[in-house]
Copies of this chain bind each other. A is one copy, B any other.
């Protein structure tokens, strides 16, 4: 299959990671005269921008996930390999998947980022972040369990802590989570409880900077803050989180330090690169930035390793305006497509000018009928921004998996103000109602692949 001694060996492209960067690279190589192996530790691509909708009970994980094999089934030159890459041998040009080696002529590393606690990893237990399907299910469990616990709590102070939701980080994910929880409390759950008034829930959105949504134009940040406030969210800017413990977050505003009692603290503040960045740096001598992202050349390759590319959130590309490109889906997608094109040019003995990101703008949704859109040349807020957000997301979702169902689910949720996916699931959810032998009592059998 892979044999460098062949007379006309087919060029082997290995892509590590099936997120936006890796998947769009693979798709763009569909008709290229190469063999592609896409390796991912999951069997599905996750549409991460909508993960907050899973965390807040509006969509199911499968609604925003597409089986990688299914997306790439028509790419006959492409193999999908479920597995975890634990090392790279840049001399023999192999990646190691378990005890198997897979040879590459060109390597594209697109393993992305995960949330980061700025060195305070012990905060994670008390303030989970949102990067994977499992994270979203866990966040969903905590949010809905908090209302359940408040319903049965008789001590007013404790009840208040159950009904206090703190979201750390005022970027798009934080804004989206805060808006969605406010809608849950004020609309979806309003008639469901008998002992509590869910609309008394306090939802705090904490941001260290001067304004939320820092990448947006200031007037849009202001519009978002106004919309959130109307939904009942308490937006606290210039607010630093100095400590997180079980049920208590310590905040610093100017010189004032205080503690907030909250049973549901959600982390939407920082990200860092996947550990693969460190592996790559060790194996290639590449430099990483302080977030662990690999600093790449103008063509997204690693210095001195022109056949190893890094795309998406794992890459630090600073050749456009001196600042690294942001870790968003459109950047990853364009980078993946660029590298796919460059590989094909090189096979023809040609090359490409340096990568150039076309920024189509920023969007963030706040709630129903409310979003902010910053396209540079035009700025939208309110209903039209919301409609625009909706159309863009439907377009991208449908592009590779025809997720018509999501559209209909959204329409349904919109008109009924309902969120049908508010399940509390997982073994923890049984343990916490006092079922010792929680599972149907068998040990999950590991399957090694």
A residues near B, CB below 8 A? 41-44, 60-63, 65-67, 69-70, 73-74, 79-84, 86, 98, 100, 114-115, 121, 124-126, 128-129, 131-135, 138, 141-142, 144-146, 148-149, 151-152, 189, 191-195, 246, 263, 401-405, 408-409, 412, 416, 418, 420-435, 439-449
Contacts and interface: CB of A to CB of B under 8 A. Distances in A.
Given A41-B430, A84-B433, A429-B42, A445 B62 contact: no
A73 B418 CA distance: 12
Contact of A43 (B62, B263, B423): B423
B84 A423 contact: no
B145 A442 contact: no
Given A41-B430, A423-B44, A124 B442 contact: yes
B145 A440 contact: no
Given A134-B425, A442-B128, A79 B431 contact: no
Q: Which 6 pairs of residues, A with B, have the shortest CB-CB distance? A: A60-B60, A62-B421, A69-B192, A124-B442, A73-B191, A125-B442
Nearest to A150: B449
27 contacts: A41-B430, A44-B422, A62-B421, A62-B422, A62-B423, A67-B192, A67-B423, A70-B192, A70-B420, A70-B422, A73-B191, A73-B192, A82-B433, A83-B434, A125-B442, A125-B443, A125-B445, A132-B440, A134-B426, A134-B427, A145-B447, A145-B449, A149-B447, A403-B420, A405-B408, A428-B446, A431-B446
A425 B132 CA distance: 10
Contacts of A65: 420, 423
Contacts of A448: 149, 432, 434
A434 B86 contact: yes
A28 B257 CA distance: 54
Contacts of A423: 42-44, 61-62, 65, 67, 133
B440 A129 contact: yes
Nearest to A416: B402
B132 A191 contact: no
A314 to B, nearest CB: 17
Contacts of A425: 61, 133-134
Given A82-B148, A440-B124, A433 B420 contact: no
A402 to B, nearest CB: 8
Q: Interface centre among A422, A433, A435, by most B CB within 10 Å?
A: A433
A424 B43 contact: yes
Nearest to A403: B420
A449 B148 contact: yes
Contact of A432 (B100, B189, B447): B447
A121 B441 CA distance: 9
A133 to B, nearest CB: 5
B449 A98 contact: no
B449 A81 contact: no
Contacts of A246: 445
A58 B164 CA distance: 37
A412 B404 contact: yes
A152 B81 contact: yes
A42 B402 CA distance: 32
Contacts of A79: 194-195
Contacts of A429: 42
A405 B401 contact: no
Contacts of A424: 42-44, 82
Given A408-B405, A423-B133, A433-B449, A440 B43 contact: no
A44 B141 CA distance: 12
Given A142-B447, A148-B449, A405-B412, 16 more contacts: A41-B433, A43-B144, A60-B61, A60-B63, A66-B420, A70-B418, A83-B152, A125-B443, A129-B440, A132-B440, A133-B425, A134-B427, A149-B447, A405-B420, A428-B446, A433-B449
